[in-house]
């Protein structure tokens, strides 16, 4: 992967990582406030005693890997996913911390304080895991989804002081998956998300 463009933007991230004190931080706070909480979609809290706590150092993108038809109820999907994750996989909760629907709405899933889960060999401890609904081997992400990914990544990067180099995807850590699908992965591979996140953080720093 060509990281030369990323290097040019690292200075932006260094300037913008002061989440609490940046003059324009309200824009990122609004992103966090707009996240639909677990209780609102009908989910139940994780068992804290079984959780593996961690500190966020990476942001990692996933896709659902299954078709998600227009008109599908995302909240019903989340309830099914939570039930399946616990009953069938024996996981603490939904493996991801955030889920983005077709309209670009962001839902809270697993508590960000708890490490996620994966069917592959990489250890997701330290990773903030984002799932975008759909199978991006078959379909293209829409603009609302892409914009939501950028907003969420920018919020997480600022809040947890994650470097641009550590914004990646599932397949960057495992050769046993095509996740997040070729049509979404190219936005990672071509540094689209890193560029957009860096610009967003620079705008926040400038108070725009």
Give one DSSP letter per residue of 148-177, joined into a string.
Answer: HHHHHHHHHHHHHT--GGGEEEGGGT-SS-
- Of the candidates 27, 191, 37, the one whose C-alpha atom is nearest the C-alpha of residue 105 is 37
C-alpha–C-alpha distance, residues 134 and 172, integer Å:
19
**Residue 148 — pLDDT band, cuts 50, 70, 90?**
very high
pLDDT at residue 201 is higher than 90? yes
Please list, in sequence order, all residues whose beta carbon lies within 8 angstroms of the beta carbon of residue 69, skipping any fewer than 6 positions away: none
Cβ pair 140, 172 in contact under 8 A: no
Two structure tokens written together for 95: 């493996």
Span 2-45, pLDDT tens digits: 445 444 455 444 544 444 344 446 689 999 999 999 999 999 99
Distance (Å, rounded) from C-alpha 3 to C-alpha 11? Answer: 14
Report pLDDT for 27: 84
pLDDT tens digits, 169-193: 999 999 999 999 999 999 999 999 9
CATH topology of domain 4-206: Lysozyme-like (3.40.80)
pLDDT of res. 155: 97
pLDDT at 108 over 80: yes
- With cut-offs at 50, 70 and 90, classify the pLDDT of residue 205: confident
Q: What is the DSSP letter of 122?
A: S
Nearest to 58 by CA among 199, 156, 145: 156
Residue with tokens 């914004």: 167
pLDDT given for residue 180 in this prediction = 98
**Domains of the chain by residue range:** 4-206
User: Facing residues of 106 across strands?
Assistant: 100
CA–CA distance, 184 with 197 (Å, rounded to integer): 16
Average pLDDT, the chain: 90
Q: What is the mean pLDDT of residues 41-69?
A: 96
pTM exceeding the 0.85 threshold for the entire prediction: yes
């Amino acid at each position: 992967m060509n990281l030369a463009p990323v290097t040019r933007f690292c200075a932006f991230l260094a300037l913008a990582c002061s989440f609490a004190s940046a003059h324009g931080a309200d824009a990122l706070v609004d992103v966090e406030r707009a996240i639909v909480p677990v209780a609102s979609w009908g989910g139940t809290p994780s068992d804290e005693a079984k959780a593996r706590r961690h500190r966020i150092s990476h942001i990692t993108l996933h896709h659902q890997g299954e078709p998600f038809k227009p008109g599908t109820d995302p909240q019903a999907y989340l309830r099914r996913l939570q039930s399946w994750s616990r009953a069938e996989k024996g996981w603490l909760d939904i493996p991801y911390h955030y889920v983005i629907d077709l309209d670009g709405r962001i839902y809270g899933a697993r508590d960000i304080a708890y490490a996620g889960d994966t069917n592959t060999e990489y250890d997701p401890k330290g990773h903030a895991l984002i799932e975008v609904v759909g199978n991006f081997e078959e379909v293209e992400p829409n603009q609302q989804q892409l914009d939501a990914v950028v907003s969420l990544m920018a919020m997480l990067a600022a809040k947890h002081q994650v470097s641009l180099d550590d914004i990646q995807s599932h397949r960057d850590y495992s050769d046993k998956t095509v996740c997040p699908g070729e049509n979404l992965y190219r936005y990672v591979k071509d540094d689209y998300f890193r560029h957009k996140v860096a610009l967003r953080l620079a705008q926040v720093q400038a108070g725009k």
